[in-house]
């Protein structure tokens, strides 16, 4: 189900609005803990089908920007979310690596360690 990426809307980090984003991070827990976008929702790619109902709580009047480390997993997730009609999903090209390079804020879950993208 989440094995192949189909054609999905994609945007670069530099083209994202500066505020008011709905971000879904599909990375693994250790990647998330190291550093993620503030206010992002975390559902690892492998858990997405089982936890899709949680996405129903997101606003349906704006896109959900899906991120991973570099853009591959998020493309698969966005394709699945769009095909299933769950949300309007947009893949973020370059993922959290580009997020950090563009100077967007990062927060981490590890005490005493600055946030970083794994």
- Establish whether 68 is a catalytic residue: yes
In 10 A of CB 14, how many CB atoms?
11
Q: Which of 40, 55, 67, 68 is catalytic?
A: 68
What are the contacts of 55-60 at 24+ separation with CB within 8 A?
A: 55/24, 55/81, 55/86, 55/87, 56/86, 58/22, 58/24, 58/87, 59/22, 60/87, 60/88
Stated as kind and residue range, the H or E segment containing 48 is helix 48-51
- Cα–Cα dist 4/17, whole Å: 28
Report the catalytic residues. 68
């Amino acid at each position: 189900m989440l094995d192949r990426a189909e054609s999905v809307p994609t945007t670069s980090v530099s083209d994202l609005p500066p505020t008011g984003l709905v971000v879904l991070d599909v990375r693994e827990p250790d990647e998330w803990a190291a550093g993620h976008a503030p206010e992002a929702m975390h559902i690892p790619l492998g858990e997405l089908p089982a936890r899709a109902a949680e996405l129903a709580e997101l606003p349906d009047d704006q896109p959900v920007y899906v991120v991973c480390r570099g853009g591959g997993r998020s493309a698969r997730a966005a394709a699945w979310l769009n095909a299933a009609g769950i949300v309007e999903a947009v893949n973020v090209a370059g993922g959290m690596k580009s997020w950090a390079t563009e100077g967007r804020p990062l927060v981490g879950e590890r005490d005493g360690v600055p946030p970083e993208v794994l």
